[in-house]
Structure 1
Amino acid sequence: MPLGLDRKGLINFSLITLANFFFFSNFSTFFLLPLYIKELGGTEADIGFIMGSFGITSLGSIPFVTYLIDRYGRKLFMFAGAVIMLLSSLLFVTVNELSPLLYVFRMCQGMGFALFFTSATTSAADIVPINRRAQGLGIFGAFTILAYSIGPTLGEYVLNNFGFSHFFIAASSFSIVAAVLILFSAVTDFTKSAERFGLGFFRLVASKRYSLILLTNLLLAGGLGSVLNFISAFLKEKELDVYNFFIVYALTVTFVRMFGGRASDVFGRKKVAAPSLIIFSISIACIVFIDSGLAAIMVSFLFSFSYGMLYPVLTALVIDKAGADERGKAMGAYNAC
């Protein structure tokens, strides 16, 4: 059977993966929220503060969220996250001026994100057997990348043709689908944590068992963010097309996550992670030598291929090291980096 799952397990994994896709489609449409803030008369500073307020709750709530899902299970909090994202996205329709409500709704989205994504990734890891774990998490992650292209594209179409009110309604509709899919999913088996809410999350983050993986993921995220944020300006300065870099990035990462995750299940995590990290570092160093469209495509391919390989490997490593009753905390710490 695919992913080593029986029919029931495969259906459950598919429902959670598709729910994650629709949830992230909702999330990614809000990359266009700065346009609305500008229309309301907001400055660049307003955009930065409002968009950034999402991180206060998405990161700040993770210790509490991870305690909940390790203690009480995944499904309830996936559903709660989808509903919170749905309502907070829809409520933007009520805002017609620069208002503290923009911060409130954006911070609610951050809470919904923390609840849903941490629960969903942990649930996916629960379902897939250890010998197919990286492959399963790679497929799960591929649908996330796909959502990043679908959400803003459809959002921009609705915005250009129907306006912001319809845009917010359309965005929230993605989370309706996510919530319905979660309702139809089965409750995944998990080992209940006996720990009371306290410092368990922070002890896990500080433990030597996870320090190398979390540090690696933090550096990986820093490299990814730096490249994606600044490559457009760099290529424009070189008078090169930007879209080629991003098309190659999206296609390569999606393909590699879908079909490359199995490699570390077969050959071992470290044997895949080490060369991928080297290629990732080399690709970033090579950016300064881009002087043609072909060079941009080649660098983008190396960058995307190595990043696409690293995500499922590192995610699987975190789960491999986690105790059965601390998977939520482990995934929360990993996603926070």
Structure 2
Amino acid sequence: MLILFAAGLLFWSSIGALLSTLPLYIEDLGGSKQQVGIVMASFAVGLLIFRPQLGELADRRSRKIVLIIGASVAAIAPLGYQIFTSIPGLIALRAFHGISIAAFTTAYAALVSDIAPAENRGEVLGYMTLTGATGLALGPAIGTYIQENASYTLLFNTTAILGLLSLLFVLPIENFPVSQDLSEDNGAESIWQIYKSPRVRVPALTMLLIGLAVGTLNTFIPLFIKSIHVNFDCGLFYTIAAVSSLVSRFFTSSGSDRIGRGIFVTLGLIAYTLSMLLLWQANNDFSFVMSAILEGAGGGTFLSTMDVVIADRSLPQERGRIFALCVVGFDLGIAIAGPLGGSIAEQVGYHNMFGIAGALTFSGVIIFLTLSSKTLINSLQFAIGRGDDDFAYRDVQKAPLFDPQENYPVLSTTGIAAE
């Protein structure tokens, strides 16, 4: 577990180092607001195209193979930013870079869910996904410091080295294959059949809406701060958000096991909405600090708890695929957010762009309150922590998929979802 945690921390530090610096790099190369949005959003193209296939590969072969793919791309892609300096070249490279997250996050979440016992799955997943929060706190601070005090060349080399170190930590991880018994039913349903199921549809839809907001924020915060001439370090925004996410996960992780998943998903959606509305009215340092705190808290509650909800709603032999298909909603949101946000910013300005993002996340609150379970009443009860998840599997996953000591499958595939 510690080796896996270290691999995740290095991976996210590599990704985070470019969040606050790449938009400025693209602008320095002569890119317009819309071109910045398109290049940044191209990251999600790799996610959208490859995540479903990588999820299926994680189920059919092993989680480790997909982890290796993700870490390898994270080590290679940053070197290309020094070579491909045209907008079309950067779009293609950014799309390739997106494969790293498609692979690494899908396999990482599936592997941790496999190992974690069902009774404290929220706690284990919450602590193991601290890698994202911590890496996204360290990465932007490292990236901004290098960009301001050294050069873009050193920045890109550093992010590549972090990706390489992540790969070196992945290699010693035990290669737990999913047995034929566990994988024989995998792929029996088409993608659209899976999306028709409310156990997948509502998580994917709320992830889409949050992806739109997060993609808008990640792409345009550096340029927004610069445009209104506020003396606030954009790297600090990401660092505050990541620290807030880290802190919130300590409360969310064990809390979702004791209180229920739904209340934390709802609180996360509300936090995202308040963060966007603060940016809508932002004109001073305090507004950005509070928005960063709320955005981080939203990620620490919504994203980490939704991982657990997806794990609860999936069988081991399909878990990689279900994770991939739910999270692809988040990817699609990020893909749309860049060019769409750039167009909106050109027409109505950055402030109103974030106001629209806040309206989208608020619609996510309404959707989850009303559609998260089989009936309206059950949905409301689940969403406020007063009821169970109708779509969670009850009689399966009472033990981890792999015995941590013996390294072989110990979980049967029998079990029926709660009616």
TM-score, structure 1 as length reference: 0.79
Hey, what does 1:162 align to over in structure 2? 150
Q: State which drifts further: 155-164 or 302-311.
A: 302-311
| Corresponding residue for residue 115 of structure 1 | 103
Distance in 2 (CA, whole Å) between partners of 1:229 and 1:36 is 12
2:42 counterpart SS class: helix
Pick one of 61, 72, 83 that aligns with 1:83: 72
Please give the secondary structure, in 1, of the residue aligned with 2:174: coil
Query: In 2, Cα distance between the equivalents of 1:72 and 1:319?
Result: 19
Cα separation, partners in 2 of 1:274 and 1:83, compared to 1, 3 Å: closer
- C-alpha change, 1:207 and 1:29, in structure 2 (3 Å) is same
How far residue 110 of structure 1 moved from its aligned partner, in angstroms, is 1.4
* Alignment partner, residue 204 of structure 1: 194
State how far apart, in whole Å, the 2-side matches of 1:300 and 1:40 are: 28
Give per-residue Cα distances to partners, 1:238-265, cap 9 Å, x unaligned.
9897879766543322111134311111
Q: Deviation of residue 211 (structure 1)?
A: 2.1
Q: More helix per residue: 1 or 2?
A: 1
* Contact kept? 2:8, 2:132, Cα under 8 Å: yes
* Aligned equivalents of 1:231, 1:87: Cα separation in 2: 26
Equivalent residue, structure 1, for 2:24: 35
Q: Which amino acid aligns with 1:82?
A: A
CA distance in 2, matches of 1:287, 1:39: 24
Which residue of 285, 307, 311 corresponds with 1:315? Answer: 307
For 2:315, what is the secondary structure of its paired residue?
coil
Query: Percent of aligned pairs with the same residue?
Result: 23
Q: Note if contact 2:265-2:306 (Cα within 8 Å) is conserved in structure 1.
A: yes
Native 8 Å contact 1:257 1:312 kept in 2: yes
> Measured at CA, do residues 189 and 72 of structure 1 come closer, stay the same or move farther in structure 2, by a change above 3 Å?
closer
- CA deviations 1:185-239 (Å, max 9, x no partner) are 11236454235768633322221222233233333444555677788859x9798
- Say whether 1:193 aligns with 2:161: no
Amino acid in structure 2 at the alignment position of 1:137: L
AA at the equivalent of 1:335: V
Is 1:176 aligned to 2:164, yes or no?
yes
Residues 34, 253 of structure 1: alpha-carbon distance in 2 compared, 3 angstrom cutoff: closer
What one-letter code is carried by the residue in structure 1 that aligns with 2:144?
E
Letter in 1 for 2:199: R
| Corresponding residue of 1:217 | 207
- CA shift in 2, pair 1:152/1:296, >3 Å: closer
Within 2, Cα distance between the matches of 1:315 and 1:42? 36
1:263 and 2:255 equivalent?
Answer: yes
Q: Is the 8 A contact 1:125 1:319 kept in 2?
A: yes
Per-residue CA deviation, residues 87-127 of structure 1 (Å, 9 max, x unaligned), is 122233334x4264433322221122211221112112212
Determine the C-alpha separation between the residues in 2 that align with 1:332 and 1:51: 21
Aligned length in residues: 324
**Deviation at 1:277?**
4.8
- Closer, same or farther in 2 for the Cα pair 1:46/1:197, shift >3 Å? same
Over the aligned positions, Cα root-mean-square deviation in angstroms equals: 3.5
Partners of 2:267 and 2:301 within 8 A in 1: no
Deviation at 1:69?
0.9
In 1, the alpha carbon distance for the partners of 2:185 and 2:253 equals 33
Q: Supply the distance in 2 between the matched residues of 1:54 and 1:290 (Cα, whole angstroms).
A: 27
Within 5 Å, which residues of 2 pair with 1:53-92?
Answer: 53-92=42-81
Query: Which shifted more, 257-266 or 214-223?
Result: 214-223
Residue 30 and residue 228 in structure 1: after superposition, are their counterparts in 2 closer, same or farther (change >3 A)? closer
Aligned pairs for 1:259-298 (under 5 A) are 259-274=251-266, 277=269
Q: In 2, distance between residues paired with 1:287 and 1:156? A: 21
Q: Letter of the 1:326 partner, please give it.
A: E
2: CA distance between counterparts of 1:298 and 1:160? 25
Amino acid in structure 2 at the alignment position of 1:312? S
1:177 Cα deviation (Å)? 0.8
Bigger shift: 287-296 or 310-319? 287-296
Shift, 1:131, TM fit: 1.5
**Pairwise CA distance, 1:295:** 8.0
Name the TM-score, length of structure 2 as normaliser: 0.65
Aligned to 2:120: 132
Secondary structure of 2:202's counterpart equals helix
Kindly provide the CA deviation profile for residues 44-82 of structure 1, in whole angstroms up to 9, marking residues without a partner as x. 444333322222121121221111111111101111221
2-structure distance, mates of 1:49, 1:287 = 21
Unaligned residue ranges in structure 2 (runs of 5+) = 330-419
